[in-house]
Amino acid sequence: MLKKILFTFVCAAISTTVFAADEVKIGMLQGFTGPTESLVAPMALGGEMAIKEVSDSGLFLGGKKVVPVRGDSTCIDAAAATAAAERLVTSEGVAGINGATCSGATTAVLNNVVRPNGIVMISPSATSPALTAIEDDGFFFRTSPSDSRQGQIIAKILEREGIKSAALTYTNNDYGKGLADSIQAAFEARGGKITAVAAHEDGKADYSAEVGSLAAAGGEVMIVAGYVDQGGAGMIQASLDSGAFDRFVLPDGMVGESLTNRFGDALNNSIGTNPGTDSPGAAMMAKITADKDFAGDDPFVPECYDASALLLLAMQSAGSTDSAVYKDHVMKVANAPGEKIFPGELAKALEILAGGGDIDYVGGSAVELIEPGESAGNFRETKIDGGEFKTMQYH
Amino acid sequence: MEILNALALLANFVVVPATAYGAQLALGALGVTLIFGILRFANFSHGELMSFGTMAVILFTWVLQGQGVIIHPLPTALLALPVGILVAIVLSLTTDRLVFRFYRRKRANPIIFAIVSVGVMFVYAGLVRIVIGPDDQSFADGARFIITAREFKELSGLAEGIAIKQTQVVTIAVAVAVVAAMFWFLQKTRSGKAMRAYSDNEDLALLSGIDPDRVVMIAWIITAALATIAGTLYSLDKIYKPFIFLQILLPIFAATIVGGIGQPVGAILGGFVVAYSEVMLTYAYKKFLAYLGPSGWAPDSLVQLLSTDYKFAVSFIILVVVLLVRPTGIIRGKVIG
């Protein structure tokens, strides 16, 4: 009896191994439980859709099948994320990981699993600036931009507009502080001067004191890293009332119609930036998911699709599923030169790569990877003209 | 010229806003001090009473605006003010009948009254959120500025402008009128004298035939009117935000205690002391000193005593210092406890 059971087990083990030989596994290491669970549900489906698309094409590495294997990285439990990644790598033997969802979990997995095992990991949604500088041995990429990207974009715009000094106020939370720090660092690196930095609390009726202290420091413009329906608008109101500032720089939290509805022409010539792209990728994502039960343009769904696609296209380009080999091909397939690849065109990409050609993967989120392997992000620059946000250009 | 610029700067960022804010606090503190003088408890529901009265004003303002009844360049809210006051009076008299009278009959301890008023505060706050919701409401219309900073600069040729908002002038004008009317009432009318007598010595006042119920009723009527006016002026000047009426309670209480509890003159004085302290301690004097110093020189730092984050701490500090050093306040008032 015991022999029989043992035999079955051995058979099963052998058959899995045999079966796995022409099957490549990709780990979907996402925060399926915890604070991101509603966000992740469509994200993971988007990532798996790209895997299925590649697998069904029959063109991947001479006709190999690709299957996703899910692992729960949670969002805030680094130990659980590490354990899930460990399982994916050692017992499932995945060739690459699409994940993790949150920055904290991603950092833990990167240090404890990715680097020791030498596995490529592409995160669709970790945006912490700390991940830019982290030591990754070339195994880690992300299809979402660092939170500090917007600061660099704003600094670039200010330099182009000839603005040399600015006062900076931020809403007193992690978002505001992080954004303000990145704007200040980037602006000062370009030779600009932040005359004063003042936090403002949301939910107050009066911001004249905050504006007063910023006005004392001076500056050609006021950068308002706040919220459009909260203290950010209050800061602008108090500035206009006291005549302290009449030109503003408005990061993403401040770009909204309620602002122009409230202040109208008083804001003319102010500059806004917010995530946005003129790439048709997002619309195409929405189209190819039209018959699915999730929306292709939900938050981070295009990024997750792109993360899976980049993993597989890099493997195709390298002709190998060995992380140490194909890690050097991720940047190559993501960036120019080459044929532009949009969502739903993965078969075409595989074909070009198999023929030795070059591709420039655009995907759903208009991916452009910059060193050290993260998305440059896409930002829309607007200027208020005639009391309305007008798109100037995309960065 | 440099000195004029420095003064204009200070006027724009300190004097004008602090004066308007001080007038708003003074009106609020008057109501708190009046209730303390007559009913002998710290009325925590005062802030929400302001909110409730203001809400009524806003609702009626919208009705008037809808009917096209406006008094440009003055804000329509001034027309709606009497209706708001009436609503607030009804509310506070109802509250007194349903809640405070019960404890008055039991001759409850002042601390119990204070706790009860906290409960009343939550009920008011809930009512406001049910009726108008928790969001900001902007109801100011009419001309926004008497003079803008830019116009002032062009007119005077100075580098610094002084912006004066219409709401700031309206605030101060209304506050002066209301305070004058209230002092006339307290000093000259029979009811006012009765109230002062009741406040000074309850037993003696009762013995001389003063009707306590009437005094209490008048106290609530005046308080509700003051609260509505203060709340409306504050919201006109800044914005109506239901959440801030809990925050504003602290500077109002500070103003009441600084001035001397139960002392109307003290409440007005206290309002301005607190407002000016808040603004002056958190203002950055860099540019001001740069104008006064040799040309081309400017201090390296902002020369700011306290970060604006600590604006509310100023009220707290004043409160603690006054209670430690001079618990009776500037004008010798009652001592809580």
Q: How many residues does chain B have?
A: 337
Per residue in A285-309, pLDDT (tens digit) is: 888 888 888 888 788 899 999 999 9
pLDDT for res A21: 56
Q: Which domains does chain B have, with CATH numbers?
A: 2-247 (1.10.3470)
Task: Label the pairing between strands A271-275 and A379-385.
Answer: antiparallel
Q: Which of A201, A206, A227 to mutate to test the interface with B (most CBs of B within 10 A)?
A: A206
Mean pLDDT of B239-256: 92
Average pLDDT, chain A: 89
Of B163, B286, B302, the CB nearest to A242: B163
- Which of the two residues, A282 and B115, has the higher pLDDT score? B115
Helices (H), A198-300: 208-217, 231-242, 257-263, 281-288
- Which of the two residues, A253 and B255, has the higher pLDDT score? B255
Res B337 pLDDT > 50: no
Average pLDDT, chain B: 91
* Centroid of chain to Cα A268: 31
Res B266 pLDDT > 70: yes
Minimum Cα–Cα distance from A196: chain B residue: B302
Query: What superfamily would CATH give domain A149-275+379-394?
Result: Response regulator (3.40.50.2300)
Percent of chain B with pLDDT over 70: 99
Backbone angles phi, psi at A14, to 5 degrees: -65, -45
pLDDT for res A228: 86
Asked if B99 reaches chain A (Cβ–Cβ under 8 Å), the answer is no
pLDDT for res A16: 47
Which of 126-185 (A) contact B at CB < 8 A? 172
Per residue in B217-239, pLDDT (tens digit) is: 999 999 999 999 999 999 998 88
Collect the ranges in chain A with pLDDT lower than 70: 1-21
pLDDT for res A20: 47
What is the pTM for the complete model shown?
Answer: 0.78
Which of 179-238 (A) contact B at CB < 8 A? 196, 198-201, 203-206, 208-210, 212-218, 229, 234, 237
d(CA A221, CA A240): 12
Of A206, A243, A262, the CB nearest to B238: A206
Task: Label the pairing between strands A359-361 and A369-370.
Answer: unpaired
Asked if B315 reaches chain A (Cβ–Cβ under 8 Å), the answer is no
Task: Tell me the DSSP string of A117-138.
Answer: HT-EEEESS---THHHHS--TT
Residue B43 burial by CB count (10 A; 0-12/13-18/19+): exposed, middle or buried?
buried
pLDDT for res A313: 95
Asked if the domains A2-147+280-375 and A149-275+379-394 are classified in one and the same CATH topology, the answer is: yes
ipTM over the 0.90 cut-off: no
Number of C-beta neighbours around residue B46 at 10 A = 32
Which of 251-280 (A) contact B at CB < 8 A? 262
Decide: B195 and B219 in contact? Cβ < 8 Å. Answer: yes
Res B19 pLDDT > 60: yes
Domain residue spans in chain A?
Answer: 2-147+280-375, 149-275+379-394
pLDDT for res A2: 56
As a CATH number, domain A2-147+280-375 is: 3.40.50.2300
Angle (CA) B236-B238-B239 rounded to 5° is: 75
Asked if B196 reaches chain A (Cβ–Cβ under 8 Å), the answer is no
d(CA A82, CA A74): 10
All residues of chain B having their beta carbon less than 8 Å from the beta carbon of residue A193 are none
